[in-house]
Amino acid sequence: MAFDYLEQRRIMGCFATGVTVVTTLENEIPHGMTANAVTSLSLNPPLILISVDSKAHMNNYLRTSKIFAVNILTVEHEELSVRFAQHGPKDFSDIEYRTEITGAPIFEKALAYVDCQITSILPGGDHDIFIGEILAGGQQEGKPLIYYGGKYRRLPD
């Protein structure tokens, strides 16, 4: 008997995570999605992984572009997280962003970012796991946006 996915969701909701927007550039069009299934994988070589629903448009964009950036959000970015969690095309028009090595959008006001080249794609149930080699990255001062128990949270001062 399979474990109840709703129970899994409730249990994993007890695991506090940072909130990111994963971006890519495919056919000169920026795309993005909110993600908390982001993990540092290896320091040598520098690798991270992201998990993307196999049915999501972003999955196809990543497969085609072979690049992504992970933008770690600050407490001021809750609206961006909500926007990029919605289905359909995403509006980048009011977001200040730049590119570095890969061409994937990097949010100017992100708390931190990594710019990655996809090295492997692995199946993971109803998701695919994209492993990216970090080619560039950086950070700045700020407070991270946290997701816990189905709600956005902030770290206390």
Q: What is the distance between the alpha carbons of residues 137 and 119, in angstroms, rounded to a whole number?
A: 17
**Category of 119 on φ-ψ map: left (φ > 0), alpha (ψ -120 to 50) or beta:** alpha
User: In this structure, are residues 143 and 74 in contact, taking their beta carbons and an 8 Å threshold?
Assistant: yes
Q: Over the stretch 45-97, which tens digit does the pLDDT of each residue have?
A: 999 999 999 999 999 999 999 999 999 999 999 999 999 999 988 999 999 99
Q: What is the distance between the alpha carbons of residues 157 and 152, in angstroms, rounded to a whole number?
A: 16
Q: How confident is the model at residue 43 (pLDDT cuts 50, 70, 90)?
A: very high
User: What 3-state DSSP class applies to 68?
Assistant: strand
CATH 2.30.110.10 assigned to 5-154? yes
Task: Tell me the pTM.
Answer: 0.94
pLDDT reported for residue 88: 87
How high does pLDDT run on average in the chain?
95
Q: How confident is the model at residue 28 (pLDDT cuts 50, 70, 90)?
A: very high
Q: How confident is the model at residue 13 (pLDDT cuts 50, 70, 90)?
A: confident
Q: Where are the domains of the chain?
A: 5-154
Q: What is the distance between the alpha carbons of residues 107 and 4, in angstroms, rounded to a whole number?
A: 37
CB hemisphere CA count around 12 (13 angstroms): 9
